[in-house]
Structure 1
Amino acid sequence: MAPGPPHARCPPAAGALVGRPVAERARYVVVRDGAWQQHYFRWGGRRLAVDVAEGPEQFGRFVAGLEPVDPGNWMYDVDCEAAAVVDHDRRLLLLFTWHLETHAERLTLFAVLARTWPGWDVRWAYDGLEDVFAHVGEEPESVRSELGARPGGPLHAALPDEPDFTIAVTVTYRDGRQAHAVTGENVADVLAHGPGVVRRLLPATRVSRLSHIPYGGVHIDVPARRVAAWTRGNFLGGAAAAGRLPGWPGWGWTCWYDAHERQREASAGALAFAAPDPAAGVRAWTERLDELRPADGTESEARTALRSVLDALDPTSMECAHDRT
């Protein structure tokens, strides 16, 4: 495992890419005949969703051309921006990426994968690199950084135009319910406070409706001593696979995966999300393909075929990833 100080899921500052490229690290694991091989691509994070969407044959050729990595050489969860496991023995695709900026883009990804990976079990790695590590029989805690266990920081009001850094927090009290929207890079930023988080929610963070689907959400039922959370990214600290949360002794824990609808229902009217626009995800994916097109304008047959899949999508029939867990 490559040592180094943990860092958060932050975009580069303005101008940071000028003269100083920022790595977008991705890991790839191929399982075949009971054995597995790990690969690494320093610049694979942002493009992994597109690469994997081309289907098992094309993606397999792409991964085979990448740098092989010793089985014991991993990295911390916060250093890996995307990963995929292609398990030929079980016909299972397990993946995650930080580079889906909206709920609509996530819907589009799973709609595309349903068509380009027919007959495969497609799953999202809700615990990120820990899920990848566990899939090959290794201890997931080995890639867990200190970030997932750090104390919670200040809970500032979320900015309305940054859904990728917004965490919705709903609370059920004995005498009513409240909803808040705070800035965060992961639901762990809220969960790290423990039950005392309800005393740290400020009036300035109160909301009743969000104009987007946020990055994740936490629902706290104080009288029942239960906490639940969902994310369209991944958890830190193995929360998805955990039976209980550290820092919440005596509280029941439920992982809602990516089911934001569960939070809306639990809030009983305290919080509403704007209806998602699946067509926006198709448009975003088309723009992503345009960005990845070579400078000479040519495009591989696989990319051309992927555009055809996008063109044929019916946005109204797209399903969330939690339907596939």
Structure 2
Amino acid sequence: MSGQRAEQYLIWYGWDIQWAYEGIADLAAYVGYPKEKVLTGFDDDLKDASLAPPEERDLVNTVASVKFSQNDLLLFPLYGGIDVYLMYGSDLIDKIDKSYGYRNISLDEWSADFPVGGFHIDIPARRLEFWHANDIPNISYELQSKWSGWEVIGHYSNYEAQCRSTTGLLQFQNVNQDQLLEALKASLLKESSNPLDAVAYFVKKEADAGRKVEINPHALRYDRYELPKNVREEILEYAIGN
């Protein structure tokens, strides 16, 4: 999440950046193409509605906060992204096991990686708020339908909204800007893999098993132009320096 913001700031400084939070649905809308033609239904791969934490702490990549009453707010460290929980709709509320909740959480104690999303359910106010850094096509429309009668508010990648809703009881990871910059450099300068290697591996595996494999010639095209590493380093250093 923080890396995404840093990359936008460094590489596109001075530009108005609009992130496609709903993925292909946003891209279709931008070019005037009906998004219904590029969308498929949501999978039924829903997570445990009790809001149980993952078995390993470092798997936490989602956080839920639930306000049951004026003085009763619990936090739930989760795994899987917001959609695999919120697609239950308001039926989720009756399935929550409060024994899994925490009065306060410092995510530094759970995972080194920043969450990909979070949601806040205010039961007395019948309000659902959510944010996400990963793209989830049509999520706003789907949640409006699943949470009928509720106020549904999407905050895009603004995780700070959940901090405000939890009045400081939820603490996100402290981000070291120098470490973040080094991680960003490594990500932007790493050599890309050749997808044809995966095709070749599959063909060999099938052939070794005695099966005949036919490949569409179009699957063997890989026309990507790769800038030399020294050129990419110059571009990155210029972006950081300006």
Number of residue equivalences: 199
Alignment of 1:168 onto 2:66: no
Report how far residue 229 of structure 1 moved: 0.3
Equivalent-residue separation in structure 2 for 1:199 and 1:266 (angstroms): 21
**Aligned residue number for residue 10 of structure 2:** 112
**Aligned residue number for residue 299 of structure 1:** 229
**Aligned residue number for residue 213 of structure 2:** none
**Aligned residue number for residue 123 of structure 1:** 18
Equivalent-residue separation in structure 2 for 1:271 and 1:200 (angstroms): 22
Matched residue of 1:161: which SS?
Answer: helix
The two structures have a TM-score, normalised by structure 2, of 0.72
Matched residue of 1:127: which SS?
Answer: coil
Q: Which amino acid aligns with 1:134?
A: A
Alignment of 1:223 onto 2:124: yes
Q: Is the 8 A contact 2:64 2:78 kept in 1?
A: yes
Q: Is the 8 A contact 1:107 1:281 kept in 2?
A: no
Equivalent-residue separation in structure 2 for 1:235 and 1:107 (angstroms): 18
Report how far residue 122 of structure 1 moved: 1.6
Q: Which amino acid aligns with 2:127?
A: R
**Aligned residue number for residue 5 of structure 1:** none
Q: Is the 8 A contact 2:62 2:118 kept in 1?
A: yes
**More strand by percentage:** 1
In structure 2, list runs of 5 or more residues that go unmatched.
Answer: 194-226
**Aligned residue number for residue 232 of structure 1:** 133
Q: Is the 8 A contact 1:226 1:251 kept in 2?
A: yes
Equivalent-residue separation in structure 2 for 1:209 and 1:195 (angstroms): 27
**Partner residue of 1:188 out of 60, 83, 88:** 83
Alignment of 1:134 onto 2:33: no
Equivalent-residue separation in structure 1 for 2:189 and 2:11 (angstroms): 19
Matched residue of 2:146: which SS?
Answer: coil
Equivalent-residue separation in structure 2 for 1:196 and 1:179 (angstroms): 18
Q: Which amino acid aligns with 2:20?
A: A
Greater relative contact order (Cα 8 A, min sep 6): structure 1 or 2? Answer: 2
**Partner residue of 2:178 out of 276, 279, 300:** 279
Q: Is the 8 A contact 1:282 1:310 kept in 2?
A: no
Q: Is the 8 A contact 2:129 2:152 kept in 1?
A: yes
Equivalent-residue separation in structure 2 for 1:156 and 1:271 (angstroms): 17
Describe the shift of the 1:125–1:181 C-alpha distance in structure 2 as closer, same or farther (beyond 3 A). same
Describe the shift of the 1:108–1:311 C-alpha distance in structure 2 as closer, same or farther (beyond 3 A). same
Q: Which amino acid aligns with 1:271?
A: L
The two structures have a TM-score, normalised by structure 1, of 0.55
**Partner residue of 2:115 out of 214, 221, 224:** 214
Alignment of 1:246 onto 2:145: yes
RMSD, aligned α-carbons: 2.7
**Aligned residue number for residue 200 of structure 2:** none
Q: Which amino acid aligns with 1:110?
A: Q
Q: Which amino acid aligns with 1:251?
A: W
Q: Which amino acid aligns with 1:284?
A: A
Within-5 A mapping of 1:1-325: 103-115=1-13, 118=14, 120-147=15-42, 150=44, 152-154=46-48, 155-158=51-54, 159-162=56-59, 166-174=61-69, 175-184=71-80, 186-202=81-97, 203-204=99-100, 206=102, 208-211=105-108, 213-239=114-140, 242=141, 245-292=144-191, 298-299=228-229, 301=231, 303-309=232-238, 311-312=240-241
Larger Rg: 2
In structure 1, list runs of 5 or more residues that go unmatched.
Answer: 1-102, 314-325
Q: Is the 8 A contact 2:53 2:79 kept in 1?
A: yes
